[in-house]
Structure 1
Amino acid sequence: MSEKSFAAVATNSKHTEIHQFELPDITQDAGILKVEIVGVCGTDVSYYRKLKSPMILGHHVVGHIHKIGDIASTRWGVAVGDRVVMEEYIPCGHCEMCRSGFYRLCADTDPRIGGIRYGATPISAAPALYGGFSQYMYLHPNAVMHKLPPHVPPVEAALTLPLSNGFEWMRIIGGVGPGDVVVIQGPGQQGLACALAAKAAGAETVIVTGRNSSQKRLELARELGADYTINVSSEDLIKRVAEITGGKMADLVIDVTSGGTEPVISSFEVAKTRGTVLLGALKNQPFNELDLDVIYNKTLTVKGVRGHSYHSVQMAVDFVSSGKFPLSIMNSHNYKLSDTDLALKTAGGEGEPFPLLVTVSPWL
């Protein structure tokens, strides 16, 4: 008798249903993952709110190898029972981006143009199990994974991918190091990950900004090691950064806020001359009030950042495995599979109150 998997399928905007799927027969270069825990991120919420095709969401996936072909076992260096954290990307492995190490930019990983990616692939793409909100997930031959030690608590393991973005943007792209002043606009999952990564990289001063609605997350930022927080609803951001830094301002500023163009403009203003501004959040609107002269006058480096690399995910694996930071305090809600709908609503601010890291554990 074939094995089966229950999965939460997003069948319509803001609606999921539990469906049952048969586990596929695997080829020698593929496998099956038994999902342990999945983190819910903003991308999941955006698909959930504006669904185009039924799919299994969830791409911050941690699990154990359930079945694996011999070729895949050798390629990935894993065996049945091994614990792994998955990357969402399923790259081709042959294009210029892949060969250059930027497989996150491979066209085959972009679902907007027909690519496949974990948590963003319709169930019409065989064998359907391409999302983490499921008891089992298909391991495509081109999947990317990292081994994870068994001692890491599941809710901390689920932070690996968000943390990898933090290391990619702060350390690898931003070059943060000892003595640096870093301002992080937005205390969400990505902002907190950047704060942790910046402190781990040796930044002297880490400042996290937010609004009245983010007060609890600002408190959490301080618990996680941020040196200062600024409530921009009641404090003057530019004046406050000048006070904290003695007028030096910030070596690096990153905007990871969920909306609006004002944080981008203020990021240019709090960056020091010859500083760096990273843009890590989509705005989906034009910048009509942006004075480009500030970039010229300060000779700023401005760069868009997106996703993570193999190296930064491995940095995150090492970070969560060290046990040096109280990462479990970032988990606010952990749901069973049948409550995936509520998990997505909560992560999007429409469910239970005060969401931080929201997770789904399919075997609860």
Structure 2
Amino acid sequence: MGETALAAVATDTKLTEIKEVLLPDIKEDTGILKVEIVGVCGTDVSYYNDLKEPMILGHHVVGHIHKIGEEASKRWGVKEGDRIVMEEYIPCGQCELCRTGLYRLCPNTNPKVDGIRYGATPIATEPSLYGGFSQYMYLHPNAVLHKLPSHVLAVEAALTLPLSNGFEWMRIIGGVGPGDVVVIQGPGQQGLACALAAKAAGAETVIMTGRNSSQERLRLALELGADYSVNVSSEDLIERVRQITNGKMADLVIDVTSGGTEPVVSSLAVVKTGGMVLLGALKNRKFDDFDLDVIYNKSLTIKGVRGHSYKSVQMAVEFISSGKFPLSRMNSHNYKLSETDLALRTAAGEVDPLRLLVTVSPWL
């Protein structure tokens, strides 16, 4: 019998079980990661709430190289003991999307078309260890990873992927820079990441919106650098943005809320003529009555945003490593591996409605 790892395997809807999983023998181009900490993402919760096949969830993964083949060591530029942060994507590396830097859209990394991805691959796919809620994880030959300095706190390191989305959407796609006004709809993990990225990019004014249920998060957004918060449950967002900007309105608006069509409609209302609106949340929203003329009349750019690039993850690593922002305040719950069910329920809002970043530390 070879070396084994304990893993929290999602075996049914809203159920995980701690199981022993055999560690694979590594080849020249593969490796094994010893997992240090894993951030719980909304995607994990969606799989947990509607599981199709048993799998190990968790894809915001930080860890240390446990074993690695010689070829993989050279290709990734890492050695045993190095600390790294993982991307969830396992792209083919050969298609046009991969070759042009859009590997996050590669069909090989889309589970909906039989692709494989960390945190979304059934345990029936050998060698099974494709999720972070485990003591160890398999390093596929096409895995994408980044070295991480040892001084970064684990709970801050777990923010790398959410922050990379913020940098991708604000800086790389949105082009946010000095003097810009940014409105962020939704003070969740992604919204806070966008606020941090926008300020790091030089935005003059960052306005965070939320509802009565989000007051603690709105306060945290201000602590992290946002300039204004607007409670849309009691304040008129359009009028507040007009007041704050002296009528200029927003250069960029992003919707990362959890549901409903109203945030999209209000985003189009508060963006300036010639501005950009980014849609960063998938909610199966359908509009029964929607006036498309606003897009034409204001000559707007509307763009859906999804995931991150290699560059934006590197930007996030450098940002976190700088220690300039109190990122540890974003971590509200850190659980043991045996408490993975509780971690997922917490991230879903079933345990604590004020939760922020929820993490699992497999070696606690």
**Pair in the same fold by TM > 0.5:** yes
SS of the equivalent of 1:273 reads strand
> Aligned ranges for residues 33-112 of structure 1 at < 5 Å?
33-112=33-112
- SS in structure 2 of the partner of residue 64 of structure 1: strand
Ranges in structure 2 where 5+ consecutive residues have no aligned partner: none
Q: Residues of 1 paired with 2:190 and 2:207: CA distance?
A: 14
**Cα distance in 1 between the residues matched to 2:62 and 2:12:** 26
Following TM superposition, by how much is the alpha carbon of 1:352 offset from its aligned partner in structure 2, in angstroms? 3.4
Identity %: 79
SS of alignment partner, residue 78 of structure 1? coil
Cα contact 1:196–1:224 (8 A) shared by 2: yes
| Equivalent position SS for 2:63 | strand
**RMSD after superposition:** 0.6
What do residues 155-199 of structure 1 show as CA deviations (whole Å, max 9, x unaligned)?
000000000000000000000000000000000000000000000
Q: Distance in 2 between matches of 1:334 and 1:15?
A: 19
* Counterparts of 1:189 and 1:282, CA distance in 2: 15
- For the residues of structure 2 that align with 1:137 and 1:7, how far apart are their CA atoms? 9
Report the counterpart of residue 238 of structure 1 in structure 2. Answer: 238
Which segment drifts farther, 344-353 or 294-303?
344-353
Residue aligning to 1:191: 191
Residue-by-residue CA offset, 1:210-248 (whole Å, 9 max, x unaligned): 000111100100010000000000000000000000000
Matched, 1:340 2:340: yes
1:118 aligns with 2:152: no
Structure 2 SS opposite 1:10: strand
Which segment is superposed worse, 277-286 or 308-317?
277-286
> In the aligned structure 2, how far is the partner of 1:332 from the partner of 1:350?
14
Residues of 2 paired with 1:259 and 1:12: CA distance? 26
Distance across 2 between alignment mates of 1:252 and 1:290: 21
Q: Which runs of 5+ in 1 are unaligned?
A: none
Tell me the SS of whatever aligns to 2:351.
coil
Distance 1:223 1:289 in 2: 38
Equivalent in the alignment of 1:19: 19
1:283 is aligned to 2:273: no
Secondary structure at 2:162 match in 1: helix
CA displacement, residues 57-113 of structure 1 (integer Å, 9 cap, x when unaligned): 000000000000000000000000000000000000000100010000000000011
Please identify runs of 4+ aligned residues in structure 1 that moved more than 4 A: none
SS across alignment from 1:311: helix
The one-character-per-residue Cα deviations of 1:295-341 (angstroms, maximum 9, x if unpaired) are 00000000000000000000000000000000000000000000000
Secondary structure of the 1:198 match is: helix
Aligned counterpart, 1:174:
174
- Is the CA contact 1:160–1:320 (under 8 Å) kept in the aligned structure 2? yes
Alignment of 1:155-170 (within 5 A): 155-170=155-170
Tell me the amino acid that sits aligned with residue 159 of structure 1.
L
Structure 1 CA distance for aligned equivalents of residues 94 and 303 of structure 2:
26
Corresponding residue number in structure 1 for 2:200: 200
Answer whether contact 2:347 2:355 (CA < 8 A) is retained. yes
Structure 2 Cα separation of the partners of residues 166 and 260 of structure 1: 22
Give the distance between the partners of 1:71 and 1:351, measured in 2 at CA. Answer: 45
User: Alpha-carbon deviation of 1:353?
Assistant: 4.3
Instruction: Tell me how far 1:22 sits from its aligned partner.
Output: 1.0
Q: Which amino acid aligns with 2:129?
A: L
- 1:344-359 residue pairs with structure 2 within 5 A? 344-359=344-359
- 8 Å Cα contact 1:335-1:360 kept in structure 2: yes
1:228 aligns with: 228
Deviation at 1:289, TM superposition (A): 2.1
Letter in 1 for 2:162: P
* TM-superposition CA deviations, 1:26-53 (whole Å, max 9, x none): 1100000000000001000001001100
| Secondary structure of the corresponding residue to residue 78 of structure 2 | coil
- Tell me the amino acid that sits aligned with residue 152 of structure 2: V
C-alpha distance in 2 between matches for 1:247 and 1:352 = 38
Structure 1 contact 261–283 (Cα < 8 Å) conserved: no
Aligned to 1:8: 8
Distance of 1:132 and 1:205 partners within structure 2: 37
TM-score, normalization by structure 1: 0.99
Cα distance between partner residues in 1 of 2:185 and 2:311: 25
CA distance in 2, matches of 1:189, 1:310: 20
Distance 1:178 1:352 in 2: 37
Q: How many pairs does the alignment contain? A: 364
Task: Provide the C-alpha distance between the structure 2 equivalents of 1:247 and 1:42, rounded to a whole number of angstroms.
Answer: 36
1:136 aligns with: 136
1:118 to partner: Cα distance: 0.2
- 2:259, 2:285 within 8 Å by CA — same for their partners in 1? no
Distance in 1 (CA, whole Å) between partners of 2:290 and 2:283 is 13
Q: What's the TM-score once normalised by structure 2's chain length?
A: 0.99
